[in-house]
């Protein structure tokens, strides 16, 4: 024991330092080797216990985690959809504002061509409609319902003019698979229109008669299946027609005469290999609609001809010189308000059939289209 004297503190008892004895290296290594398996087992057991304890918690939390991830993805998609919908509404509103003058003119009863003429060209002339330009800079076409003279198989008119508001299809050597015209107004049934100069018929479908100067043979329109559906005409006249199946059903007219005669017309369909593309148009206002076999001495050919929802005024609707596999005349309203004595709906004796369905055709008072 040592006593150390410090000033003014008296004697202080100090414990002697006892050094920590270092283990022998060989002994330490032997101990580590012996204890290593037990340490690894203890660590593995500890992890196993922790895993067993954590598993139920993970199982419970896993659906919640998955749901939260799904919510994040859902919210991202909805945010994009909301953004696109917002932009779509803005563009829709912009287009509505841009077209409002055109829509107002259409609402006032003007035709699309006349409305375009007033907005772009600034004028209309006479009985035809002036269309110097269209609202959209594109070439005229049958599919777009532009007036003009069309020769199958072309969708572009061979003739068009701002004074010419007739939709005319001239048929020749090229057969057409389908011609479909629907939802149109023809003749004087809309404001500012008259029949073309020298014409008396609103709708003409069929071939052409024989002429002597110049000399042209009679031509026919050959059709596999023709449908005349929901026409409104002052008169509907059928003449010089051969139909294997003639179906006349559910027509109402202010006087009718159905005098078709039995015969042996053959059934037919139009093939022709490389036919023209289908010609389909919907909507439009025209002074006249004409589908004829205009090529010299050649019958026009259409496999399916569908003319539906056609509103006319100013002249009769005429079907003449047609050879059809099946001809359907259904759900039409015909009349000029001149009484039952005048047969506004007439199927002449020159209409020949092999099979004839004549059902529910009634005479009722029908006045001229407004």
Nearest to 284 by CA among 306, 305, 311: 311
Question: Per the structure, how many domains does the chain have?
Answer: 2
Same domain, 94 and 213: no
More confident of the two residues 309 and 13: 309
Same domain, 93 and 146: no
Assigned domain for 137 exists: no
Domain interval for residue 41: 33-99
Q: Number of helices (H) and strands (E), helices first, in the chain?
A: 2, 21
Same domain, 160 and 93: no
Assigned domain for 11 exists: no
Same domain, 193 and 339: yes
More confident of the two residues 143 and 116: 143
State yes or no: pLDDT of 108 exceeds 80: no
pLDDT, tens only, 355-366: 999 999 999 999
Assigned domain for 368 exists: no
Assigned domain for 192 exists: yes
Report yes or no: 260 and 356 within 8 Å, Cβ to Cβ: yes
Query: Burial of 298 by CB count in 10 Å (0-12 exposed, 13-18 middle, 19+ buried)?
Result: middle
Same domain, 212 and 280: yes
Residue 55 confidence class, pLDDT cut points 50, 70, 90: low
Token pair in block for residue 13? 């008892």
More confident of the two residues 345 and 88: 345
CA 312 to CA 294: how far, in whole Å? Answer: 23
State yes or no: pLDDT of 65 exceeds 90: no
Same domain, 313 and 214: yes
More confident of the two residues 10 and 77: 77
Token pair in block for residue 278? 């289908």
Token pair in block for residue 370? 């407004």
**3-class SS at 72?**
helix
In the prediction, which pLDDT does 229 show? 97
Assigned domain for 7 exists: no
pLDDT, tens only, 156-183: 999 988 888 999 999 988 899 999 999 9
Segment 118-132 shows an average pLDDT of 44
Same domain, 87 and 210: no
In the prediction, which pLDDT does 136 show? 46
Same domain, 90 and 166: no
Token pair in block for residue 72? 């994040």
In the prediction, which pLDDT does 275 show? 74
Residue 266 confidence class, pLDDT cut points 50, 70, 90: very high
Same domain, 230 and 322: yes
Please report, in angstroms and rounded to a whole number, the separation of the first and last CA atoms in the chain: 136
In the prediction, which pLDDT does 355 show? 97
Q: Please tell me the least confidently modeled range out of 87-101, 144-158, 202-216, 270-284.
A: 87-101
In the prediction, which pLDDT does 154 show? 84
More confident of the two residues 41 and 196: 196
| Cβ contacts of 183 within 8 Å, gap of 6 or more | 282, 283, 308, 309
In the prediction, which pLDDT does 124 show? 39
DSSP 7-71: TTTEEEE-PPP-PPPPPPHHHHHHHHHHHHHHHHHHHHHHHHHHHHHHHHHHHHHHHHHHHHHHH
Place of tokens 């002994």: 27
In the prediction, which pLDDT does 69 show? 75
Same domain, 40 and 167: no
In the prediction, which pLDDT does 358 show? 97
Assigned domain for 108 exists: no
In the prediction, which pLDDT does 132 show? 40
Same domain, 209 and 318: yes
């Amino acid at each position: 024991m040592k006593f150390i004297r410090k000033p003014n503190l008296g004697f202080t008892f100090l414990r002697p330092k006892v050094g920590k004895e270092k283990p022998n290296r060989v002994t330490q290594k032997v101990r580590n080797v012996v204890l290593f398996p037990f340490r690894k087992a203890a660590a593995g057991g500890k992890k196993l216990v922790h895993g067993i304890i954590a598993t139920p918690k993970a199982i419970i939390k896993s659906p919640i985690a998955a749901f939260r991830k799904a919510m994040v993805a859902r919210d991202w998609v909805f945010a994009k959809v909301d953004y696109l919908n917002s932009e779509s509404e803005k563009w829709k509103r912009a287009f509505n504002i841009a077209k409002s003058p055109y829509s107002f003119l259409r609402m006032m009863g003007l035709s699309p061509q006349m409305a375009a003429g007033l907005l772009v060209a600034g004028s209309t002339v006479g009985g035809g409609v002036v269309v110097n330009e269209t609202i959209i800079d594109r070439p005229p076409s049958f599919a777009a319902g532009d007036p003009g003279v069309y020769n199958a198989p072309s969708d572009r008119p061979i003739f068009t003019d701002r004074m010419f508001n007739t939709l005319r299809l001239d048929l020749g050597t090229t057969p057409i698979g389908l011609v479909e015209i629907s939802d149109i107004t023809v003749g004087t049934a809309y404001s500012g229109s008259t029949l073309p100069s020298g014409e008396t018929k609103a709708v003409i479908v069929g071939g052409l008669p024989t002429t002597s100067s110049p000399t042209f043979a009679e031509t026919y329109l050959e059709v596999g299946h023709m449908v005349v559906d929901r026409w409104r005409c002052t008169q509907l006249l059928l003449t010089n027609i051969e139909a294997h199946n003639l179906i006349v059903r559910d027509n109402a007219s202010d006087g009718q005469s159905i005098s078709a005669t039995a015969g042996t017309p053959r059934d037919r369909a139009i093939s022709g290999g490389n036919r023209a593309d289908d010609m389909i148009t919907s909507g439009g206002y025209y002074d006249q609609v004409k589908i004829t076999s205009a090529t010299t001495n050649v019958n026009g050919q259409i496999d399916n001809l569908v003319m539906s929802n056609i509103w006319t005024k100013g002249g009769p609707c005429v079907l003449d010189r047609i050879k059809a596999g099946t001809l359907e005349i259904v759900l039409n309203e015909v009349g000029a308000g001149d009484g039952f004595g005048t047969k506004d709906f007439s199927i002449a004796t020159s209409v020949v059939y092999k099979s004839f369905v004549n059902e529910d055709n009634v005479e009722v008072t029908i006045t001229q289209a407004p």
